[in-house]
Structure 1
Amino acid sequence: MKKQVFDFYQILEQDAKKNTEIFSLYFPENYHFLEMDEDTRTDFIAENPQMNRALLIAIGMGFQLAKESRPVLLSARHSSLVGAFAQEKLGDLKQEQLFLALLNTQLDVIGWEVVFVGTLTEVSASPREIFQRALKANAYAIIIAHNHPSGNLRPSVQDKRFTKRLYDVGQELNLPLLDAFIVSKDGYWSMQEKGQLWEHLLDE
């Protein structure tokens, strides 16, 4: 937190070094801000009333935002769990839809969003839109899933091409695509399980 406090004062054109040192006197490393007493709060604010009050408000808002983090929908550590979840959500749909799963650093699914409805092409399903959503949600990684209303689980050439494009962009952005699923009412196909997500994705 020390760096963020330093940056706070620096951005507001305060003496960042001096004010950060004062902050550290009142709030040493591993200080529990939720246990702050009124005397400590009052004394700290008195050192630089306008700026220190604003800093404590910002810290409080940070704790509030942390409480409002996205709920965990399921663990993505095992592809079978994600495949079953995607099959339940998409298997019976009559029109092809692409869904984006957003993952945190523990590989939990914290978001499940429809990206588009229609035939899967790079024109209708933009990699840019997918990664914009993931970056906005501060996701660690992503998984995609779409359904084949025909019941055929094998990926088409278009499916493979689009998945490879997402995989390559994810590597460049350090926001990896961990798997791509195709589902029907009878089952699912995982490109990670089938070894199609990395090399020779277009060769099969």
Structure 2
Amino acid sequence: MPVFRPLAIAAIACVWCLSLLGFRFYWSNHGYFAFMGWNLFLAAIPLGSAALLAKVDRWRFGAPLVAGWLLFFPNAPYVLTDLLHLRARPGVPLWYDLLMLLSFALVSLWLGFQSLHMVQTWVARKTSRAMAWSFVGVSLLLSGFGIYLGRFLRWNSWDIVSNPIALLGDIWARFADPLSHGRTWGVTLGFGGLLLVAYLFWMFSVTTAATAASRDHAD
């Protein structure tokens, strides 16, 4: 798939989400949920990194992009956890907030999966399909851990630069004494497994659609 196509789809999907958010501001005369716009922006960064990676041929240029992609990738599935903010609030029907939060969550997940597929394709081209799928599994497991760091410990991707000592200290504490941090591994494995199943389903859907399109073209 040409790079411009997923970027165009991403732009349309983001406009939809931001339109829902903007209408909510107008409807309620209140800026609550403004953070969803920022979360959507963070979820889109991996797709931008993957689009740049698709244009790169050498490992020495691609490796930093892959590292940057991996750093921001958990922000995409993280938006799923923003559904925790759903509750009845004055001025806006509950169904509207559900529609808006689901839109942000699903679009963000699509942004993440599309970027993962692009990076997987690049890694497979440079190594092998087996290595690329191993990369997918590790990335999704790390995303589960990233969701835990963001939702429960309130760390952000940029804290690896702005506050690395404290961040690495929190991470080390969980590996040094894993039995005392059951929630850490429950969230990590739970969300990592969910993302893997969802990605496999997404890949099956994409592959099936591509096969059907190629058959129609051949006919």
Which structure has the larger Rg over C-alpha atoms? 1
Identify, as 1 or 2, the structure richer in helix.
2
Structure-2-length-normalised TM-score: 0.27
Structure-1-length-normalised TM-score: 0.29
Identify, as 1 or 2, the structure richer in strand.
1
Compare relative contact order (CA 8 Å, sep 6+) and give the higher one, 1 or 2: 2
